[in-house]
Structure 1
Amino acid sequence: MTGVRDQQRLELKGALEAVLMVVDEPATAEHLAKVLDRTPREVADALRALADEYTAQRRGFELRLVAGGWRFYTRPEYAAAVEAFVLDGQQARLTQAALETLAVVAYRQPVSRSRVSAVRGVNCDGVMRTLLQRGLVAEAGAEPETGAILYRTTNYFLERMGLRGLDELPELAPFLPEADAIEAETQEGVPSFDPDAPDTDVDDDKTTEL
C-alpha cells in the first residue's frame, strides 16, 4: 500500500506542476483539488511539499502562496538574469498582432484579456505577455463581476507613442465603423473565438519598431 500511495503522490505533484505552468493568476488549493478530483487536504500538502523541494534544490523558480492562491515565480536571487533577458528584447520590433492588441488595450482600458480576444477574434494571451514584458501594458486591478485581471497602458507606452496623455489618442470611430457592434458583443461577454485554440498571432512576421 505504501508504494501505491507514493505513486499517487508523485502523480498528483506532476499534475499540479503541469496545471500551475499555465495559470494566469494564483490558483487556490480548493480549485486545484476540484479540477484534479482530489481532496483539498491532499492538494495543500502536495503544494507545500513541492514548494519545500524547490527551495531545497535551489531551483531558479519557487512556488508561492500569494493572495490565497499558488503560482510559480522566479526566485529573487536570479532577478538580474531575468531582467537582462527581458530588457534584451526591448528593442525588438513588435509584430502586427502585438500592435493591434496594444491598440485595443489603449482604447478599451481597463480591459481584460478575454475582452481583447473577443474584439480581435483570436486568443491573444501570448501577445499580452509580450506587451507586459515590454512594459507597454500593466495590470490594473480586477473586474468586479468575474475577477478577471484588467490591463491598461503605461507611461512608457505614452513615451514611445510621443503622447502627453491618453486624451491625445486619435478618435477611433472614423477608422472603425463597426466599433459599436464590437462593443455590444464584448459587453455581452460572448467571445468570437475558440478559447482553446492556440494563439496564432505569435508567428505573425509583420513587425514594426516601437
Structure 2
Amino acid sequence: MSDIDLTDTTPDDVREEGVVDEVPPDQLAFDVGDFPGGLRGAVEAVLMVVDEPVTELALASALEVPVPDVETALAELEEGYAAQQRGFCLRNVGGGWRVYSRPEYAPVVSKFLLDGQQARLTQASLETLAVIAYRQPVSRSRVAAVRGVNVDGVIRTLLTRGLIEEVGTDEESTANLYGTTATFLERLGLQSLDDLPALAPYLPEVDVLDEIAESGRS
C-alpha cells in the first residue's frame, strides 16, 4: 500500500496522531465561565471538531448551559465572523450548526484540494486506509478503535483524495459507514477487493472492535 503515489502533510494528519485516548475524569468537570473566551469560546471549540452540523440542544447539553445562552453565543459568533470577514463562516444547515469556509474563497480551497491530490499519503493515512479496505463497510469509531487514535482528520483527507466514500449508515448507531472507491483500486492496480493481500486475519474481529469502541466512550 506504500506504493500509492501521494504525499500528505496536512495538519489534520499530524494532529490526530497526538490525540490522547482518554481524559482523566477530574479533567472533564468544568465551568464554561472559567474559560478565557467564556461560553462563546467553548461553543467555538466544539464547532471546530464536529464533522456534521450540531444542534443548539446538543451544545447546551455538552456544555451544561441553557439552550437560550447557546443560541445567543451562536448568533454572536455568526455575526462576529461576518464582521471580521474571516475565511470561514458559521451556518445553520438542516437544523444544526457547523463552521464552513466562506463561499467567496471557493477557488482557493478548490486549488488547495486539487493540488493536494498530487501528494504522497502519510503513514497515518495509509494505516487508516488499510483498516477501511479490510473492514468495509466500517464506521469511523471502529477505525479509531483499531488504530488507537482519533482519525477524523485522516478520514477527511482520504475522502478528499477520493480513495474512500460514504457507503451507508449503521442501523444501530446511525453512524456513517465508509468503504474504498474505484479510484483506490485503480491506484493500487487491483481489479477488485478480492485481490488485496490476505491481511484481514490480523485485524480484530468486528465484535472486538465494538467492545473497544464502547470502552473508549465510557
TM-score greater than 0.5 by the shorter chain: yes
* Residues 154, 48 of structure 1: alpha-carbon distance in 2 compared, 3 angstrom cutoff: farther
Q: How many residues align?
A: 182
Following the alignment from structure 1 to structure 2, what is the Cα–Cα distance between the partners of residues 77 and 154? 30
Secondary structure of 1:73's aligned partner: strand
Alignment TM-score, normalising by the size of structure 1? 0.74
- Determine which structure has more spread, i.e. the larger CA radius of gyration: 1
Using the aligned pairs only, state the percent identity: 56
Match of 2:79 in 1: 52
Which sections of structure 1, spanning at least 5 residues, go unmatched?
1-7, 196-210
Structure 1 residue 71 displacement after superposition: 0.8
Match of 1:89 in 2: 116
Letter in 1 for 2:208: E
Following the alignment from structure 1 to structure 2, what is the Cα–Cα distance between the partners of residues 177 and 156? 25
* Residues 157, 178 of structure 1: alpha-carbon distance in 2 compared, 3 angstrom cutoff: closer
Following the alignment from structure 1 to structure 2, what is the Cα–Cα distance between the partners of residues 192 and 46? 32
Secondary structure of 2:100's aligned partner: strand
Question: Which piece of structure 1 moves more, 25-34 or 146-155?
Answer: 146-155
1:128 and 2:155 are equivalent in the alignment: yes
Is the contact made by 1:158 and 1:164 (CA closer than 8 Å) also made in structure 2? yes
Structure 1 residue 21 displacement after superposition: 0.9
Match of 2:131 in 1: 104
Structure 1's consecutive aligned runs of 4 or more residues displaced over 4 angstroms after TM superposition are 192-195
Letter in 2 for 1:183: V
Is the contact made by 1:123 and 1:194 (CA closer than 8 Å) also made in structure 2? no
Secondary structure of 2:150's aligned partner: coil
1:170 and 2:186 are equivalent in the alignment: no
Following the alignment from structure 1 to structure 2, what is the Cα–Cα distance between the partners of residues 122 and 53? 34
1:63 and 2:90 are equivalent in the alignment: yes
1:184 and 2:207 are equivalent in the alignment: yes
Match of 1:117 in 2: 144
Structure 1 residue 194 displacement after superposition: 5.8
Is the contact made by 1:121 and 1:191 (CA closer than 8 Å) also made in structure 2? no
Structure 1 residue 162 displacement after superposition: 2.7
Alignment TM-score, normalising by the size of structure 2? 0.71
Following the alignment from structure 2 to structure 1, what is the Cα–Cα distance between the partners of residues 174 and 201? 31
1:97-131 residue CA offsets vs partner (Å, 9 max, x unmatched): 32221121122222111111222344333322321
Match of 1:74 in 2: 101
Secondary structure of 2:212's aligned partner: coil
Following the alignment from structure 2 to structure 1, what is the Cα–Cα distance between the partners of residues 161 and 167? 16
Structure 1 residue 45 displacement after superposition: 2.5
1:37 and 2:64 are equivalent in the alignment: yes
Following the alignment from structure 1 to structure 2, what is the Cα–Cα distance between the partners of residues 56 and 106? 44
Match of 2:164 in 1: 137
Structure 1 residue 85 displacement after superposition: 1.4
* Residues 165, 178 of structure 1: alpha-carbon distance in 2 compared, 3 angstrom cutoff: closer
Which sections of structure 2, spanning at least 5 residues, go unmatched?
1-34
Match of 1:203 in 2: none
Letter in 1 for 2:213: P
Following the alignment from structure 1 to structure 2, what is the Cα–Cα distance between the partners of residues 88 and 70? 29
Following the alignment from structure 1 to structure 2, what is the Cα–Cα distance between the partners of residues 36 and 122? 24
Following the alignment from structure 1 to structure 2, what is the Cα–Cα distance between the partners of residues 142 and 32? 23
Q: Greater relative contact order (Cα 8 A, min sep 6): structure 1 or 2? A: 2
